[in-house]
Structure 1
Protein backbone atom coordinates (compact mmCIF):
# COMPACT_ATOMS: atom_id res chain seq x y z
CA UNK A 1 0.00 0.00 0.00
CA UNK A 2 1.18 3.49 -0.71
CA UNK A 3 1.71 6.13 1.89
CA UNK A 4 -1.43 7.97 0.81
CA UNK A 5 -3.57 4.84 1.34
CA UNK A 6 -2.13 4.32 4.83
CA UNK A 7 -3.01 7.90 5.76
CA UNK A 8 -6.60 7.45 4.65
CA UNK A 9 -6.93 4.13 6.56
CA UNK A 10 -5.63 5.71 9.79
CA UNK A 11 -7.98 8.67 9.47
CA UNK A 12 -10.95 6.32 8.90
CA UNK A 13 -10.09 4.23 12.02
CA UNK A 14 -9.87 7.32 14.26
CA UNK A 15 -13.18 8.62 12.91
CA UNK A 16 -14.95 5.28 13.57
CA UNK A 17 -13.63 5.08 17.16
CA UNK A 18 -14.80 8.62 17.94
CA UNK A 19 -18.29 7.94 16.57
CA UNK A 20 -18.59 4.66 18.56
CA UNK A 21 -17.69 6.41 21.84
CA UNK A 22 -20.15 9.20 21.26
CA UNK A 23 -22.96 6.72 20.53
CA UNK A 24 -22.31 4.70 23.75
CA UNK A 25 -22.31 7.83 25.89
CA UNK A 26 -25.63 9.01 24.48
CA UNK A 27 -27.30 5.60 25.09
CA UNK A 28 -26.19 5.68 28.79
CA UNK A 29 -27.72 9.10 29.40
CA UNK A 30 -31.04 8.26 27.77
CA UNK A 31 -32.09 5.74 30.62
CA UNK A 32 -32.47 8.49 33.28
CA UNK A 33 -35.26 10.67 31.95
CA UNK A 34 -36.40 13.36 34.36
CA UNK A 35 -39.51 15.43 33.74
CA UNK A 36 -39.16 18.99 34.84
CA UNK A 37 -41.82 20.07 37.44
CA UNK A 38 -43.14 16.54 37.95
CA UNK A 39 -44.01 16.57 41.76
CA UNK A 40 -46.73 14.60 43.75
CA UNK A 41 -50.20 15.25 42.34
CA UNK A 42 -53.22 15.26 44.71
CA UNK A 43 -56.54 14.07 43.31
CA UNK A 44 -59.71 15.42 44.97
CA UNK A 45 -63.10 13.74 44.31
CA UNK A 46 -66.11 16.07 44.68
CA UNK A 47 -68.88 14.95 47.12
CA UNK A 48 -66.79 12.62 49.33
CA UNK A 49 -65.32 13.41 52.70
CA UNK A 50 -61.68 13.20 53.46
CA UNK A 51 -62.33 10.42 56.00
CA UNK A 52 -64.30 8.30 53.61
CA UNK A 53 -61.57 8.59 51.09
CA UNK A 54 -59.04 7.50 53.65
CA UNK A 55 -61.21 4.58 54.84
CA UNK A 56 -62.05 3.39 51.43
CA UNK A 57 -58.53 3.22 50.32
CA UNK A 58 -56.33 0.25 50.95
CA UNK A 59 -52.87 0.63 52.11
CA UNK A 60 -50.64 -0.02 49.31
CA UNK A 61 -47.09 -0.71 49.48
CA UNK A 62 -44.89 2.07 48.54
CA UNK A 63 -43.72 1.46 45.10
CA UNK A 64 -40.17 2.39 44.79
CA UNK A 65 -38.86 3.34 41.44
CA UNK A 66 -36.87 0.64 39.86
CA UNK A 67 -33.28 1.43 40.10
CA UNK A 68 -31.10 0.34 37.33
CA UNK A 69 -27.55 -0.35 38.12
CA UNK A 70 -25.42 2.38 36.88
CA UNK A 71 -23.47 1.21 33.97
CA UNK A 72 -20.14 2.67 33.54
CA UNK A 73 -19.60 4.19 30.18
CA UNK A 74 -17.72 1.90 28.00
CA UNK A 75 -14.46 3.44 27.21
CA UNK A 76 -13.59 2.85 23.60
CA UNK A 77 -10.60 0.77 23.15
CA UNK A 78 -7.70 2.77 22.17
CA UNK A 79 -6.58 1.78 18.83
CA UNK A 80 -3.01 1.37 18.12
CA UNK A 81 -1.55 4.76 18.23
CA UNK A 82 -1.19 6.01 14.77
CA UNK A 83 0.71 9.18 14.67
CA UNK A 84 -0.74 11.01 11.72
CA UNK A 85 1.28 13.74 10.21
CA UNK A 86 -1.52 16.15 11.01
CA UNK A 87 -5.15 16.14 12.23
CA UNK A 88 -7.91 14.74 10.07
CA UNK A 89 -9.10 18.18 9.09
CA UNK A 90 -5.66 19.26 8.22
CA UNK A 91 -5.11 16.02 6.37
CA UNK A 92 -8.21 16.65 4.31
CA UNK A 93 -7.32 20.25 3.83
CA UNK A 94 -3.70 19.67 3.13
CA UNK A 95 -4.19 16.60 1.01
CA UNK A 96 -4.23 18.22 -2.32
CA UNK A 97 -5.82 16.21 -5.09
CA UNK A 98 -3.35 14.57 -7.26
CA UNK A 99 -3.08 16.21 -10.60
CA UNK A 100 -3.98 13.62 -13.15
CA UNK A 101 -2.35 14.53 -16.34
CA UNK A 102 -3.97 13.52 -19.59
CA UNK A 103 -2.13 10.63 -21.00
CA UNK A 104 -0.56 11.49 -24.32
CA UNK A 105 0.04 8.78 -26.84
CA UNK A 106 3.57 7.66 -26.35
CA UNK A 107 5.56 7.26 -29.48
CA UNK A 108 7.94 4.48 -28.81
CA UNK A 109 11.16 4.77 -30.69
CA UNK A 110 12.68 1.43 -31.39
CA UNK A 111 16.23 1.69 -30.18
CA UNK A 112 18.87 -0.62 -31.40
CA UNK A 113 20.88 -2.21 -28.64
CA UNK A 114 24.36 -0.83 -28.65
CA UNK A 115 25.82 -4.24 -27.91
CA UNK A 116 24.20 -5.79 -30.93
CA UNK A 117 26.08 -5.14 -34.10
CA UNK A 118 24.11 -4.99 -37.29
CA UNK A 119 25.92 -6.78 -39.99
CA UNK A 120 25.54 -5.12 -43.39
CA UNK A 121 24.59 -8.29 -45.20
CA UNK A 122 22.95 -6.64 -48.17
CA UNK A 123 25.76 -4.14 -48.64
CA UNK A 124 28.35 -6.95 -48.46
CA UNK A 125 26.44 -8.96 -51.00
CA UNK A 126 26.11 -5.94 -53.25
CA UNK A 127 29.82 -5.20 -52.91
CA UNK A 128 30.66 -8.85 -53.61
CA UNK A 129 28.40 -8.87 -56.63
CA UNK A 130 29.97 -5.68 -57.88
CA UNK A 131 33.46 -7.03 -57.31
CA UNK A 132 32.67 -10.23 -59.18
CA UNK A 133 31.11 -8.37 -62.11
CA UNK A 134 33.53 -7.90 -65.03
CA UNK A 135 34.79 -4.38 -65.42
CA UNK A 136 34.07 -3.15 -68.95
CA UNK A 137 37.07 -1.86 -70.82
CA UNK A 138 36.66 1.63 -72.25
CA UNK A 139 36.13 1.77 -75.97
CA UNK A 140 38.44 3.90 -78.06
CA UNK A 141 37.04 7.21 -79.16
CA UNK A 142 35.25 6.97 -82.48
CA UNK A 143 36.71 9.13 -85.16
CA UNK A 144 34.47 9.52 -88.19
CA UNK A 145 36.13 9.03 -91.57
CA UNK A 146 36.81 12.19 -93.52
CA UNK A 147 34.03 13.25 -95.82
CA UNK A 148 34.83 12.98 -99.50
CA UNK A 149 35.23 16.30 -101.16
CA UNK A 150 32.53 16.99 -103.66
CA UNK A 151 33.59 19.07 -106.55
CA UNK A 152 30.98 21.60 -107.49
CA UNK A 153 30.28 21.78 -111.13
CA UNK A 154 30.00 25.25 -112.42
CA UNK A 155 26.90 25.87 -114.44
CA UNK A 156 27.54 26.95 -117.98
CA UNK A 157 27.13 30.63 -118.44
CA UNK A 158 24.15 31.62 -120.52
CA UNK A 159 25.07 33.28 -123.65
CA UNK A 160 23.64 36.71 -124.04
CA UNK A 161 22.17 37.41 -127.42
CA UNK A 162 23.55 40.44 -129.15
CA UNK A 163 21.19 43.41 -129.10
CA UNK A 164 19.07 43.69 -132.15
CA UNK A 165 19.24 46.73 -134.12
CA UNK A 166 16.02 48.70 -134.13
CA UNK A 167 14.59 49.63 -137.38
CA UNK A 168 13.63 53.14 -138.19
CA UNK A 169 9.91 52.53 -137.50
CA UNK A 170 10.28 51.09 -133.99
CA UNK A 171 10.25 54.51 -132.34
CA UNK A 172 6.71 55.13 -133.55
CA UNK A 173 5.53 51.84 -132.09
CA UNK A 174 6.92 52.74 -128.68
CA UNK A 175 5.00 55.99 -128.70
CA UNK A 176 1.75 54.18 -129.51
CA UNK A 177 2.32 51.69 -126.68
CA UNK A 178 2.88 54.52 -124.20
CA UNK A 179 -0.35 56.21 -125.28
CA UNK A 180 -2.27 52.96 -124.91
CA UNK A 181 -0.87 52.45 -121.38
CA UNK A 182 -1.90 55.95 -120.35
CA UNK A 183 -5.41 55.43 -121.68
CA UNK A 184 -5.81 52.10 -119.92
CA UNK A 185 -4.55 53.65 -116.64
CA UNK A 186 -7.16 56.39 -116.88
CA UNK A 187 -9.87 53.83 -117.52
CA UNK A 188 -8.83 51.81 -114.45
CA UNK A 189 -8.82 54.96 -112.33
CA UNK A 190 -12.32 55.82 -113.52
CA UNK A 191 -13.58 52.34 -112.69
CA UNK A 192 -12.08 52.52 -109.20
CA UNK A 193 -13.71 55.89 -108.51
CA UNK A 194 -17.06 54.58 -109.73
CA UNK A 195 -16.70 51.56 -107.43
CA UNK A 196 -16.05 53.83 -104.48
CA UNK A 197 -19.09 55.92 -105.34
CA UNK A 198 -21.26 52.82 -105.55
CA UNK A 199 -19.96 51.60 -102.20
CA UNK A 200 -20.65 54.96 -100.60
CA UNK A 201 -24.13 55.01 -102.08
CA UNK A 202 -24.86 51.53 -100.79
CA UNK A 203 -23.58 52.45 -97.32
CA UNK A 204 -25.71 55.58 -97.21
CA UNK A 205 -28.68 53.59 -98.45
CA UNK A 206 -28.21 51.00 -95.73
CA UNK A 207 -28.00 53.77 -93.15
CA UNK A 208 -31.29 55.26 -94.37
CA UNK A 209 -32.97 51.85 -94.15
CA UNK A 210 -31.71 51.15 -90.65
CA UNK A 211 -32.68 54.64 -89.42
CA UNK A 212 -36.22 54.57 -90.83
CA UNK A 213 -37.93 52.79 -87.85
CA UNK A 214 -36.36 55.35 -85.50
CA UNK A 215 -37.87 58.17 -87.53
CA UNK A 216 -41.33 56.57 -87.28
CA UNK A 217 -41.08 56.12 -83.52
CA UNK A 218 -39.81 59.66 -82.94
CA UNK A 219 -42.77 61.09 -84.86
CA UNK A 220 -45.20 58.99 -82.81
CA UNK A 221 -43.57 60.25 -79.61
CA UNK A 222 -44.07 63.86 -80.68
CA UNK A 223 -47.74 63.19 -81.49
CA UNK A 224 -48.56 61.41 -78.20
CA UNK A 225 -51.13 63.30 -76.04
CA UNK A 226 -52.35 62.39 -72.55
CA UNK A 227 -56.19 62.77 -72.55
CA UNK A 228 -57.66 65.28 -70.07
CA UNK A 229 -60.38 62.80 -69.08
CA UNK A 230 -57.69 60.25 -68.21
CA UNK A 231 -55.97 62.89 -66.06
CA UNK A 232 -59.18 63.55 -64.13
CA UNK A 233 -59.70 59.83 -63.55
CA UNK A 234 -55.98 59.30 -62.89
CA UNK A 235 -55.76 56.57 -65.49
CA UNK A 236 -52.48 55.07 -66.62
CA UNK A 237 -51.52 52.14 -68.83
CA UNK A 238 -49.81 50.93 -72.00
CA UNK A 239 -51.42 50.27 -75.38
CA UNK A 240 -49.72 48.20 -78.10
CA UNK A 241 -50.75 49.49 -81.57
CA UNK A 242 -50.07 47.94 -84.99
CA UNK A 243 -50.18 49.82 -88.31
CA UNK A 244 -48.71 49.67 -91.84
CA UNK A 245 -46.81 52.47 -93.57
CA UNK A 246 -46.99 52.64 -97.39
CA UNK A 247 -44.03 53.61 -99.57
CA UNK A 248 -45.28 57.20 -99.81
CA UNK A 249 -45.62 57.41 -95.95
CA UNK A 250 -49.39 57.00 -95.65
CA UNK A 251 -50.84 54.81 -92.86
CA UNK A 252 -53.37 51.99 -93.05
CA UNK A 253 -54.58 49.07 -90.94
CA UNK A 254 -54.43 50.83 -87.56
CA UNK A 255 -55.56 48.45 -84.76
CA UNK A 256 -54.93 47.64 -81.10
CA UNK A 257 -52.94 44.48 -80.44
CA UNK A 258 -53.03 44.69 -76.64
CA UNK A 259 -55.42 46.93 -74.71
CA UNK A 260 -54.64 48.94 -71.59
CA UNK A 261 -57.98 48.08 -70.01
CA UNK A 262 -59.30 51.61 -70.48
CA UNK A 263 -61.26 52.68 -73.55
CA UNK A 264 -60.08 56.26 -73.09
CA UNK A 265 -56.40 55.28 -73.32
CA UNK A 266 -57.03 52.87 -76.23
CA UNK A 267 -58.75 55.62 -78.24
CA UNK A 268 -55.92 58.04 -77.41
CA UNK A 269 -53.39 55.54 -78.83
CA UNK A 270 -55.30 55.24 -82.13
CA UNK A 271 -55.55 59.04 -82.35
CA UNK A 272 -51.78 59.30 -81.80
CA UNK A 273 -51.03 57.15 -84.89
CA UNK A 274 -53.51 59.11 -87.05
CA UNK A 275 -52.06 62.40 -85.79
CA UNK A 276 -48.47 61.32 -86.64
CA UNK A 277 -49.32 60.32 -90.26
CA UNK A 278 -48.03 60.74 -92.89
CA UNK A 279 -44.63 59.31 -92.05
CA UNK A 280 -41.43 59.75 -94.11
CA UNK A 281 -41.19 57.84 -97.36
CA UNK A 282 -39.72 54.35 -97.25
CA UNK A 283 -36.17 54.42 -98.71
CA UNK A 284 -35.78 52.80 -102.11
CA UNK A 285 -32.83 50.80 -100.76
CA UNK A 286 -35.26 48.93 -98.48
CA UNK A 287 -36.71 47.16 -101.52
CA UNK A 288 -40.26 47.08 -100.15
CA UNK A 289 -43.51 48.87 -100.89
CA UNK A 290 -44.91 48.79 -97.31
CA UNK A 291 -43.57 48.46 -93.79
CA UNK A 292 -45.49 47.12 -90.77
CA UNK A 293 -44.87 48.38 -87.21
CA UNK A 294 -46.04 47.31 -83.74
CA UNK A 295 -45.33 50.07 -81.21
CA UNK A 296 -46.17 50.27 -77.46
CA UNK A 297 -47.59 53.63 -76.37
CA UNK A 298 -47.46 54.34 -72.63
CA UNK A 299 -49.77 56.79 -70.84
CA UNK A 300 -48.50 57.80 -67.41
CA UNK A 301 -49.06 60.87 -65.24
Structure 2
Protein backbone atom coordinates (compact mmCIF):
# COMPACT_ATOMS: atom_id res chain seq x y z
CA UNK A 1 0.00 0.00 0.00
CA UNK A 2 1.25 3.43 -0.88
CA UNK A 3 1.63 6.24 1.67
CA UNK A 4 -1.14 8.18 -0.06
CA UNK A 5 -3.60 5.40 0.83
CA UNK A 6 -2.28 4.79 4.38
CA UNK A 7 -2.74 8.38 5.47
CA UNK A 8 -6.50 8.61 4.69
CA UNK A 9 -7.05 5.13 6.18
CA UNK A 10 -5.31 6.21 9.40
CA UNK A 11 -7.37 9.37 9.54
CA UNK A 12 -10.56 7.40 9.05
CA UNK A 13 -9.54 4.94 11.81
CA UNK A 14 -8.64 7.74 14.19
CA UNK A 15 -11.86 9.54 13.37
CA UNK A 16 -13.86 6.37 13.99
CA UNK A 17 -12.20 5.82 17.38
CA UNK A 18 -12.79 9.45 18.34
CA UNK A 19 -16.41 9.22 17.19
CA UNK A 20 -16.98 6.06 19.22
CA UNK A 21 -15.42 7.79 22.26
CA UNK A 22 -17.59 10.87 21.90
CA UNK A 23 -20.70 8.85 21.01
CA UNK A 24 -20.67 5.82 23.38
CA UNK A 25 -22.88 3.54 21.29
CA UNK A 26 -22.03 0.43 23.34
CA UNK A 27 -23.04 2.20 26.55
CA UNK A 28 -26.26 3.36 24.92
CA UNK A 29 -27.10 -0.20 23.84
CA UNK A 30 -26.36 -1.51 27.35
CA UNK A 31 -28.65 1.14 28.86
CA UNK A 32 -31.47 0.30 26.47
CA UNK A 33 -31.31 -3.42 27.26
CA UNK A 34 -31.20 -2.58 30.99
CA UNK A 35 -34.43 -0.63 30.77
CA UNK A 36 -32.85 2.83 31.02
CA UNK A 37 -34.38 5.53 28.84
CA UNK A 38 -31.49 7.54 27.46
CA UNK A 39 -30.59 8.83 24.02
CA UNK A 40 -27.23 9.24 22.38
CA UNK A 41 -27.41 13.03 22.53
CA UNK A 42 -27.63 12.96 26.34
CA UNK A 43 -24.55 10.75 26.49
CA UNK A 44 -22.67 13.06 24.13
CA UNK A 45 -23.64 16.11 26.23
CA UNK A 46 -22.37 14.33 29.35
CA UNK A 47 -19.04 13.79 27.62
CA UNK A 48 -18.89 17.46 26.66
CA UNK A 49 -19.66 18.47 30.26
CA UNK A 50 -16.76 16.24 31.37
CA UNK A 51 -19.08 13.84 33.13
CA UNK A 52 -18.21 10.15 32.65
CA UNK A 53 -21.29 8.64 30.96
CA UNK A 54 -20.23 5.15 32.04
CA UNK A 55 -20.41 6.06 35.74
CA UNK A 56 -23.77 7.77 35.37
CA UNK A 57 -25.36 5.00 33.31
CA UNK A 58 -23.96 2.17 35.42
CA UNK A 59 -25.16 3.92 38.60
CA UNK A 60 -28.60 4.34 37.03
CA UNK A 61 -28.67 0.66 36.04
CA UNK A 62 -27.68 -0.36 39.58
CA UNK A 63 -30.39 1.80 41.12
CA UNK A 64 -33.04 0.59 38.65
CA UNK A 65 -32.26 -3.09 39.19
CA UNK A 66 -32.40 -2.53 42.97
CA UNK A 67 -35.83 -0.90 42.69
CA UNK A 68 -34.81 2.62 43.71
CA UNK A 69 -37.54 4.86 42.32
CA UNK A 70 -36.53 8.51 42.84
CA UNK A 71 -33.23 8.41 40.91
CA UNK A 72 -32.82 10.09 37.52
CA UNK A 73 -29.90 10.66 35.20
CA UNK A 74 -30.08 14.39 35.88
CA UNK A 75 -29.83 13.87 39.65
CA UNK A 76 -26.88 11.54 39.23
CA UNK A 77 -25.09 13.95 36.94
CA UNK A 78 -25.75 16.87 39.29
CA UNK A 79 -24.39 14.97 42.27
CA UNK A 80 -21.25 14.04 40.34
CA UNK A 81 -20.68 17.66 39.29
CA UNK A 82 -21.06 18.66 42.96
CA UNK A 83 -18.05 16.41 43.74
CA UNK A 84 -20.17 13.76 45.42
CA UNK A 85 -19.37 10.07 45.81
CA UNK A 86 -21.99 8.68 43.45
CA UNK A 87 -21.42 4.95 43.96
CA UNK A 88 -21.42 5.35 47.75
CA UNK A 89 -24.79 7.12 47.59
CA UNK A 90 -26.33 4.45 45.33
CA UNK A 91 -25.02 1.60 47.51
CA UNK A 92 -26.33 3.36 50.63
CA UNK A 93 -29.78 3.67 49.05
CA UNK A 94 -29.76 -0.03 48.18
CA UNK A 95 -28.77 -1.05 51.72
CA UNK A 96 -31.40 1.28 53.21
CA UNK A 97 -34.07 -0.14 50.91
CA UNK A 98 -33.22 -3.73 51.79
CA UNK A 99 -33.23 -2.86 55.52
CA UNK A 100 -36.62 -1.09 55.20
CA UNK A 101 -35.10 2.26 56.16
CA UNK A 102 -36.65 5.39 54.73
CA UNK A 103 -34.07 7.33 52.73
CA UNK A 104 -34.44 9.32 49.56
CA UNK A 105 -31.77 10.14 47.02
CA UNK A 106 -31.84 13.79 48.10
CA UNK A 107 -31.21 12.79 51.72
CA UNK A 108 -28.35 10.49 50.79
CA UNK A 109 -26.84 13.11 48.47
CA UNK A 110 -27.08 15.81 51.17
CA UNK A 111 -25.37 13.54 53.73
CA UNK A 112 -22.64 12.71 51.24
CA UNK A 113 -22.04 16.34 50.29
CA UNK A 114 -21.97 17.28 53.99
CA UNK A 115 -18.77 15.25 54.30
CA UNK A 116 -20.16 12.18 56.06
CA UNK A 117 -19.75 8.66 54.74
CA UNK A 118 -23.35 7.85 53.94
CA UNK A 119 -22.67 4.15 53.34
CA UNK A 120 -21.00 3.76 56.76
CA UNK A 121 -23.88 5.66 58.33
CA UNK A 122 -26.40 3.21 56.86
CA UNK A 123 -24.31 0.26 58.01
CA UNK A 124 -24.28 1.65 61.57
CA UNK A 125 -28.04 2.14 61.37
CA UNK A 126 -28.48 -1.51 60.39
CA UNK A 127 -25.75 -2.86 62.69
CA UNK A 128 -25.60 -0.79 65.93
CA UNK A 129 -22.22 0.60 66.88
CA UNK A 130 -20.62 0.62 70.33
CA UNK A 131 -18.98 3.82 71.60
CA UNK A 132 -16.40 3.25 74.32
CA UNK A 133 -16.53 6.17 76.76
CA UNK A 134 -13.23 6.94 78.54
CA UNK A 135 -13.17 6.26 82.29
CA UNK A 136 -15.35 8.83 84.09
CA UNK A 137 -14.46 9.91 87.62
CA UNK A 138 -17.07 11.19 90.07
CA UNK A 139 -17.26 11.79 93.82
CA UNK A 140 -20.23 10.72 95.96
CA UNK A 141 -21.55 12.90 98.76
CA UNK A 142 -19.60 10.94 101.37
CA UNK A 143 -16.36 11.92 99.63
CA UNK A 144 -15.46 8.61 97.97
CA UNK A 145 -14.11 8.78 94.42
CA UNK A 146 -15.66 6.33 91.92
CA UNK A 147 -14.31 5.52 88.46
CA UNK A 148 -16.87 4.23 85.94
CA UNK A 149 -16.21 2.59 82.58
CA UNK A 150 -19.11 2.83 80.14
CA UNK A 151 -20.17 1.36 76.79
CA UNK A 152 -22.81 3.17 74.74
CA UNK A 153 -24.62 1.32 71.96
CA UNK A 154 -25.93 3.62 69.23
CA UNK A 155 -27.31 3.52 65.74
CA UNK A 156 -27.44 6.22 63.11
CA UNK A 157 -30.23 8.76 63.22
CA UNK A 158 -30.58 9.35 59.49
CA UNK A 159 -32.71 12.48 59.89
CA UNK A 160 -30.03 14.11 62.05
CA UNK A 161 -26.97 13.15 60.00
CA UNK A 162 -26.81 16.57 58.38
CA UNK A 163 -26.05 19.08 61.12
CA UNK A 164 -26.18 16.55 63.96
CA UNK A 165 -23.44 16.33 66.59
CA UNK A 166 -20.99 13.45 66.45
CA UNK A 167 -19.54 10.75 68.66
CA UNK A 168 -17.55 13.11 70.91
CA UNK A 169 -20.77 14.88 71.94
CA UNK A 170 -22.30 11.55 72.96
CA UNK A 171 -19.22 10.78 75.09
CA UNK A 172 -19.31 14.20 76.76
CA UNK A 173 -23.03 14.01 77.56
CA UNK A 174 -22.81 10.48 78.94
CA UNK A 175 -19.83 11.49 81.07
CA UNK A 176 -21.77 14.47 82.40
CA UNK A 177 -24.73 12.25 83.32
CA UNK A 178 -22.52 9.73 85.12
CA UNK A 179 -20.79 12.45 87.15
CA UNK A 180 -24.17 13.95 88.11
CA UNK A 181 -25.54 10.56 89.24
CA UNK A 182 -22.47 9.69 91.31
CA UNK A 183 -22.43 13.17 92.84
CA UNK A 184 -26.09 12.83 93.89
CA UNK A 185 -25.48 9.52 95.70
CA UNK A 186 -25.46 9.86 99.51
CA UNK A 187 -22.91 7.09 99.83
CA UNK A 188 -20.66 5.31 97.35
CA UNK A 189 -22.20 1.96 98.35
CA UNK A 190 -25.46 3.14 96.80
CA UNK A 191 -23.78 3.39 93.39
CA UNK A 192 -21.92 0.08 93.74
CA UNK A 193 -25.11 -1.76 94.69
CA UNK A 194 -27.22 -0.37 91.83
CA UNK A 195 -25.05 0.66 88.86
CA UNK A 196 -28.06 0.26 86.59
CA UNK A 197 -29.48 3.43 88.12
CA UNK A 198 -26.78 5.36 86.29
CA UNK A 199 -27.89 3.93 82.95
CA UNK A 200 -31.56 4.68 83.65
CA UNK A 201 -30.86 8.25 84.71
CA UNK A 202 -28.62 9.00 81.73
CA UNK A 203 -31.04 7.45 79.23
CA UNK A 204 -33.94 9.41 80.72
CA UNK A 205 -32.19 12.71 79.97
CA UNK A 206 -32.37 12.20 76.20
CA UNK A 207 -28.68 12.74 75.65
CA UNK A 208 -28.93 11.84 71.95
CA UNK A 209 -31.04 14.93 71.20
CA UNK A 210 -29.53 16.93 68.35
CA UNK A 211 -26.92 14.28 67.55
CA UNK A 212 -26.42 12.02 64.54
CA UNK A 213 -27.03 8.95 66.71
CA UNK A 214 -29.84 7.28 68.60
CA UNK A 215 -28.74 5.78 71.93
CA UNK A 216 -30.01 2.23 72.33
CA UNK A 217 -28.38 1.37 75.66
CA UNK A 218 -25.84 2.61 78.18
CA UNK A 219 -24.01 -0.15 80.01
CA UNK A 220 -21.71 0.34 83.02
CA UNK A 221 -19.00 -2.24 82.40
CA UNK A 222 -17.01 -1.56 85.57
CA UNK A 223 -16.95 0.68 88.65
CA UNK A 224 -13.86 0.93 90.82
CA UNK A 225 -13.20 2.84 94.02
CA UNK A 226 -10.61 5.59 93.89
CA UNK A 227 -9.35 7.94 96.57
CA UNK A 228 -11.17 9.09 99.70
CA UNK A 229 -11.50 12.66 98.58
CA UNK A 230 -13.63 13.62 101.62
CA UNK A 231 -11.01 12.46 104.11
CA UNK A 232 -8.27 14.14 102.14
CA UNK A 233 -10.20 17.40 102.13
CA UNK A 234 -10.78 17.14 105.88
CA UNK A 235 -7.08 16.53 106.46
CA UNK A 236 -6.20 19.46 104.26
CA UNK A 237 -8.71 21.63 106.13
CA UNK A 238 -7.31 20.52 109.49
CA UNK A 239 -3.78 21.32 108.31
CA UNK A 240 -4.95 24.71 107.09
CA UNK A 241 -6.66 25.41 110.44
CA UNK A 242 -3.50 24.32 112.28
CA UNK A 243 -1.35 26.60 110.16
CA UNK A 244 -3.76 29.47 110.81
CA UNK A 245 -3.63 28.81 114.58
CA UNK A 246 0.16 28.68 114.47
CA UNK A 247 0.26 31.94 112.57
CA UNK A 248 -2.05 33.62 115.09
CA UNK A 249 -0.01 32.26 118.02
CA UNK A 250 3.18 33.49 116.42
CA UNK A 251 1.55 36.86 115.91
CA UNK A 252 0.57 37.03 119.59
CA UNK A 253 4.06 35.94 120.66
CA UNK A 254 5.61 38.62 118.48
CA UNK A 255 3.28 41.20 119.98
CA UNK A 256 4.22 40.07 123.51
CA UNK A 257 7.92 40.28 122.72
CA UNK A 258 7.43 43.73 121.22
CA UNK A 259 5.52 44.86 124.33
CA UNK A 260 8.25 43.44 126.58
CA UNK A 261 10.90 45.29 124.63
CA UNK A 262 8.82 48.44 124.86
CA UNK A 263 8.56 48.08 128.66
CA UNK A 264 12.31 47.51 128.92
CA UNK A 265 12.86 50.65 126.89
CA UNK A 266 10.61 52.60 129.27
CA UNK A 267 12.53 51.24 132.28
CA UNK A 268 15.79 52.28 130.71
CA UNK A 269 14.33 55.68 129.95
CA UNK A 270 13.22 56.06 133.59
CA UNK A 271 16.67 55.05 134.84
CA UNK A 272 18.23 57.60 132.52
CA UNK A 273 15.91 60.29 133.86
CA UNK A 274 16.82 59.32 137.43
CA UNK A 275 20.53 59.45 136.72
CA UNK A 276 20.05 62.79 135.03
CA UNK A 277 18.19 64.09 138.07
CA UNK A 278 20.88 62.76 140.43
CA UNK A 279 23.54 64.63 138.44
CA UNK A 280 21.64 67.88 139.01
CA UNK A 281 21.66 67.56 142.85
CA UNK A 282 25.36 68.53 143.43
CA UNK A 283 24.98 71.56 141.19
CA UNK A 284 21.85 72.63 143.04
CA UNK A 285 23.59 72.23 146.44
CA UNK A 286 26.58 74.20 145.24
CA UNK A 287 24.37 77.01 143.97
CA UNK A 288 22.43 77.14 147.23
CA UNK A 289 25.65 77.21 149.25
CA UNK A 290 27.02 80.07 147.22
CA UNK A 291 23.81 81.98 147.48
CA UNK A 292 23.67 81.51 151.24
CA UNK A 293 20.37 79.83 151.07
CA UNK A 294 21.76 76.66 152.47
CA UNK A 295 23.18 78.39 155.66
CA UNK A 296 19.97 80.38 156.22
CA UNK A 297 17.97 77.26 156.09
CA UNK A 298 20.34 75.57 158.46
CA UNK A 299 20.12 78.47 161.00
CA UNK A 300 16.34 78.42 160.88
CA UNK A 301 16.33 74.75 161.52
CA UNK A 302 18.74 75.24 164.45
CA UNK A 303 16.49 77.85 166.08
TM-score exceeds 0.5: no
TM-score, structure 1 normalization: 0.20
User: Larger C-alpha radius of gyration, 1 or 2?
Assistant: 1
Q: Greater relative contact order (Cα 8 A, min sep 6): structure 1 or 2?
A: 1
Larger helix share, 1 or 2? 2
